[in-house]
Amino acid sequence: MAFFYFALTNTDAETLLKEEVGQRYPELKLSYSRPGFITYKGDISVPFNPLFARVSGVSLGKFKESELNFSRAWVWKRNDELTIPPELQSISDKTLFKKGETVTLIMMIGIDEYWVGEYKLLPTHFQTPGEVSSIPVREVPSRAYYKIAEAYEAFDLPFDHQERVLELGSAPGGASLFLLEQDLKVIGVDPAEMDPSIIKNFYFKHIKRPFETLTENDFRDDVDWIISDINLPPTVVLKEMYRLVDLLSPRGLVLTLKMNEMKHLEVVATVRAKIRALGFNKVELKYLPSHRKEIALIALRT
């Protein structure tokens, strides 16, 4: 008996996903794929949940439109050149899956080419077909705005009124903007210039130098959160993060780890245990809709 699985990812992360699957699921073989859509098959059942997939699960196979007899399903299309038929779009629009339920996902891969998959809707999943972002597009200083907004929604981050956030690699201010909109006080650390709209905000302070130079003298008050989207290898970022956690004892971390080389997969494999050893009870990783070759890590003291 053969078992089949599917994964949806952003095209930038396809190589990472394939390498991860090769390491974690050596019993699976690559099957049919198209940009952003990858399937695998194997002779045994496995809990298929690769980190570098927006969403993944069991594949029920390939269908023609006339064969899609589902009363409840979400429908996702692979690219904007495809148009979901009105009847299928109507079913998708009317369907709501609750957390813990099994989602039926119809994936439109080409003209009259559909694949159907199933997966359990977890608390960290977006309630959107194909795990596309639910954050409205708007004019913001940088893409970091969407990454922190998506992390906030996916992990239900418990930001409290007027908490202090240390943001590493803050320029030009995409994430800072979102954090300030959540009524937080932000200390942005970056030698580069910040967007003028961020600088003039009363609750923003700019430390205009490299994050490696931070000492206890830079902080008069407690820091509740450390947030980072620094474009450096995860080994470099985490080494400095461990130092700052020891110095500041924040209650939460939100890190975007850049995965530009295959060797960084080894970091992801061990990072949960290392972060827990710092006193964080909850540590989770997730590939967000706006990610490229990167992954989000959140850690909380609960």
Assign residue 16 the CATH number of its domain.
3.30.2130.30
Strands of the 204-207 sheet, one edge to the other: 204-207, 185-189, 164-168, 225-228, 252-258, 294-300, 282-286
Whether residues 115 and 199 share a domain: the answer is no
Q: Residue 9: name the closest of 49, 68, 60, 62 by CA.
A: 49
Whether residue 179 has pLDDT greater than 90: yes
> Does 248 map to a domain?
yes
CA dist., res. 75 & res. 77, Å (int): 7
> Do 182 and 162 meet the contact criterion of CB atoms below 8 Å apart?
no
Whether residue 1 has pLDDT greater than 90: no
CA dist., res. 189 & res. 42, Å (int): 48
Whether residues 232 and 122 share a domain: the answer is no
Confidence at residue 202, expressed as pLDDT on a 0 to 100 scale: 96
Number of residues that make up the chain: 302
Going from the C-alpha of 298 to that of each of 63, 66, 256, 276, 295, the distances in angstroms are 38, 43, 9, 11, 10
Q: What is the mean pLDDT of residues 141-147?
A: 96
Q: What is the mean pLDDT of residues 1-18?
A: 96
Model pTM score: 0.94
Query: Each residue of 246-271: pLDDT tens digit?
Result: 999 999 999 999 998 888 998 888 99
> Do 287 and 301 meet the contact criterion of CB atoms below 8 Å apart?
no
Whether residue 302 has pLDDT greater than 90: no
* Domain hosting residue 222, numbered range: 144-300
> Does 137 map to a domain?
no
> Does 138 map to a domain?
no
From 110, 131, 152, the end of a domain falls on 131
* Confidence band for 287, pLDDT divided at 50, 70 and 90: very high
Whether residues 124 and 151 share a domain: the answer is no
| Tally of domains within the chain | 2
Whether residues 154 and 275 share a domain: the answer is yes
Q: Residue 59: name the closest of 1, 21, 129, 5 by CA.
A: 5
Q: Residue 124: name the closest of 76, 156, 158, 159 by CA.
A: 156
Q: What is the mean pLDDT of residues 4-26?
A: 97
> Do 286 and 296 meet the contact criterion of CB atoms below 8 Å apart?
yes
CA dist., res. 91 & res. 71, Å (int): 7
Query: Each residue of 75-89: pLDDT tens digit?
Result: 999 999 999 999 999
Whether residues 98 and 184 share a domain: the answer is no
Across the chain, what does the average pLDDT equal? Answer: 96
* Confidence band for 280, pLDDT divided at 50, 70 and 90: very high
Q: What is the mean pLDDT of residues 153-165?
A: 96
CA dist., res. 103 & res. 119, Å (int): 5
Confidence at residue 269, expressed as pLDDT on a 0 to 100 scale: 86
Whether residues 19 and 63 share a domain: the answer is yes
Kindly give, in sequence order, each residue whose CB lies less than 8 Å from that of residue 80, ignoring residues fewer than 6 positions away. Answer: none
